[in-house]
Amino acid sequence: MTLTSQLTRGEVEPGAIWPNADFSRVPSKVYTDPDIYSRELDRIFYGRHWNYVGLEAEVPEAGNFKRTAIGERSVIMIRNRQGEINVLENRCAHRAMRFCQEKFGKVKTLVCPYHQWNYNYDGKLLGVPFQRGVRGNGGMPEDFRLEDHGLPTLKVARRGGLVFASFDNDVEPLEDYIGPAVLAYFDRTFNGRKLVVQGYSRQRIPGNWKLMMENIKDPYHPGLLHTWFVTFGLWRADNQSQLVMDERGRHACMISTRSEVVDPEVTKGVTSFRRNMKLNDPSLLDIVQEEWWNGPTVCMTTVFPSVILQQQVNSLSTRQIIPVGPDKFDFVWTHFGFENDSDEMTERRMHQANLFGPGGLVSADDGEVIEFSQQGFEQDQDFTTMCELGGTEIGNADHMVTETLIRGMYRYWREVMDI
C-alpha cells in the first residue's frame, strides 16, 4: 500500500513509514510527501498550536496592520481602538478575495475592493453596498445578517512584545504551550522592554520547513560548518553550553557562552577552524556584554512550529518559518533592538547582522545545506536520516555533541501527526 492511499484514508498506522521504535531515523517522506505536508498544515499550522505573527511594535497604533501568513493561510495582524491586537484571516467573506495586498499600512477600515465589503479592526462586517437593493430591486435576502459574515478571527496571545495566533480556539494558554523551562529563556530577551524594529530579510529556501527547525536544534553543526563561529569562539564544542527542552520536546533552547581560549581537542581536524584568521575590520566582533544576558552569549530558541528567536552576541532577530509546499519555505528575519539602546548599540547590532540572514557569513550556508539535504531526500525516497549523536535518548544536555533536540521534536511530531 502506498503512503498516499494510507493518508487519504486517514488511517495511517503508526510506524507504517517509521522504521524504528525510537526517533533516531527520520524517513525521506517526512520531508517530501505532499500528503504528509497537507496533514502538517491541518494538524500543526492550523491546529492546536501557537504560530508567530509578529511584534507588537510593528502595529503601534489603531489601524496599523501587518500582513503575514500562518502555514499557507494569509493573515492580517491589526491593532484596534482599544489597543488590542487582532489576527484576522485575509479572505473576504464574500468571494474569498485575499483583499489585503500591502505588507504594512494604516487603514480606517478593511475594504475588499471587489465589492467594497467593509470590515472593522475586529473583523466585523460593517456593511455591504446595495444590501437593500436599488429602487426596490435585488439586494441581499431579508435574513442576511452582517454579523454572520465577518472575517475569521484567530485566537491571539501576546508576551513580551511578541504576538502569536492560533486557528484553534481551544489551544492552551501560550505560557503552558511554551512550558516553564523554555519560557524562562523567552522572558530573558522579551522581558517587557519595548522592542524596536530594525528591518527585515526575506529568503526562500528550497527545503522542507522542518529542516530549519532541525538546524536550530542541532548544536553539532555550528562548530563545524561555520568558520566564523569556530574561529572566533561564538559557537564551538568547548563552549560551556546547555540544551533545554519543554516537556513534550517541541520547543528548545541552545544556550552557550563564548570562550576566548581554544581547547585544541575541539579544533583538531576541524578544517573550518582558522587559527590565524584575523579580521581587517575588527569592529565586526566589537561584542559588548549586555546586563540581561546573565552570562550566556548566545541563546537560540525554537518555538514549534513557526519561529526561531535569536540572540547571538549583540544580534537579535525573530526568524519566521512560512511553509510554501513540502519542499520550500519562506524564512523571514525581523531584526530588532530595544527602545533604550544607544546609537552605538544599534550600530553594533546592525554590524553584527553581517553574520546572519540570507547573506550572513554564518547563516547563508545554513540555507544552502538545507537545499542540498532536500535534494538528497528527493532522490532517495527510501532513505532514513541518521540521528544518533548522543545516543537515541531524549533529554536535556550540558554539551553540544548530541542530536537529542531533533529526536525530541520528532517524538512530538509523530504524536500529533499520528504517523
Partner 1 sequence: MTSNFQDLASLIALHAEYAACIDEQRFADWPGFFTEDCHYRVVARENHEAGYPLAIMSLKGIGGLQDRVYGVTSTVFHAPYYQRHIIGLPRVTACDGDSLSVEANYLVIRTRRDMLSEVYNTGRYIDRIVRTKMGLKFAEKLCIFDSELIPNSMIYPI
Note the residues at the interface with partner 1 (CB under 8 A): 103-104, 197-206, 225, 227-228, 272, 274, 277, 279-281, 283-284, 330, 335, 346-347, 350-351, 353-354, 357-359, 361, 364-365, 367-369, 371-372
Q: Shortest approach of partner 1 to residue 334 CB, angstroms?
A: 9
Q: At its nearest, how many Å lie between partner 1 and the CB of residue 275? A: 14
Give the end-to-end CA distance of the chain in Å, rounded to a whole number: 15
Could you give the CA distance from residue 120 to residue 117 in angstroms, rounded to a whole number? 10
Shortest distance, position 137 Cβ to partner 1, whole Å? 45
Residue closer to partner 1 by CB (options 140, 197) is: 197
Q: What is the 3-state secondary structure (H, E, C) of 48-79?
A: CCCEEEEEHHHCCCCCEEEEEEECCEEEEEEE
> Which C-beta is closer to partner 1: that of 23 or that of 333?
333
**Could you tell me the smallest distance in angstroms from the CB atom of residue 296 to partner 1?**
24
Alpha-carbon distance 269 to 317, whole Å?
32
DSSP per residue over 299-354, as a string? EEEEETTTEEEEEETTEEEEEEEEE-STT-EEEEEEEEEETT--HHHHHHHHHHGG
Q: How far is the CB of 56 from partner 1 (least distance, A)?
A: 17
Q: Which three cell numbers stand for residue 172?
A: 492552551
Q: Closest CB to partner 1 among 77 and 225?
A: 225
93 neighbors 201 (Cβ within 8 angstroms): no
Q: Give, for 257, the enclosing helix (H) or strand (E).
A: strand 252-257
Least CB distance from residue 194 to partner 1, whole Å?
A: 16
Residue 64: burial class (beta carbons within 10 Å; 0-12, 13-18, 19+):
middle
Pick 156 or 212: Cβ nearer partner 1: 212
Toward partner 1, which CB reaches closer, 286 or 290?
286
Which of 142, 110, 143 shows the shortest CA–CA distance to 127? 110
Q: Which lies closer to partner 1 via its Cβ, residue 111 or residue 197? A: 197
